[in-house]
Amino acid sequence: MGASAAAAVMLIKEKHIVEAFRDAGATAANAAVAPASLGVDERLAFHKLRRRDVLCEAGDGLFFLDEQAWEDLRQARRRRLLVVGVIVLAAALVSAVVAVR
């Protein structure tokens, strides 16, 4: 599997985890739940969300979704993607100009 396909799979898994916590109403410390009760495995996508403070531990193995952290992460990813797109476009334009000469 290519790097971009693996990244896409990871994003899908992250979205499913976020949706599970959101659907359960686990969006505050007092509403925290055990991931297993939502069918969420504590694997790579889960740990990535924890490291980014999207999933916060409320104690005793209970977690909740920080909606603002999730939105911040999504915006940062969109900005990164836009920057990469602009760089690729600029490189293509430079390449085209050099090829014409």
Whether the pLDDT of residue 99 is over 90: the answer is: no
Dump pLDDT digits (tens) for 25-67: 999 999 999 999 999 999 999 999 999 999 999 999 999 999 9
* Residue keyed to tokens 């969300």: 49
Q: Give the model's pLDDT for residue 1.
A: 56
- Give the separation between CA 90 and CA 68, rounded to whole angstroms: 33
Q: Which domain holds residue 52?
A: 3-100
Q: What is the domain count for the chain?
A: 1
For residues 39 and 82, which has the higher predicted lDDT (pLDDT)? 39
- Give the separation between CA 94 and CA 30, rounded to whole angstroms: 55
Whether the pLDDT of residue 101 is over 80: the answer is: no
Instruction: Give the CA count within 13 Å in the CB-facing half-sphere of 54.
Output: 19
- Give the separation between CA 77 and CA 44, rounded to whole angstroms: 18
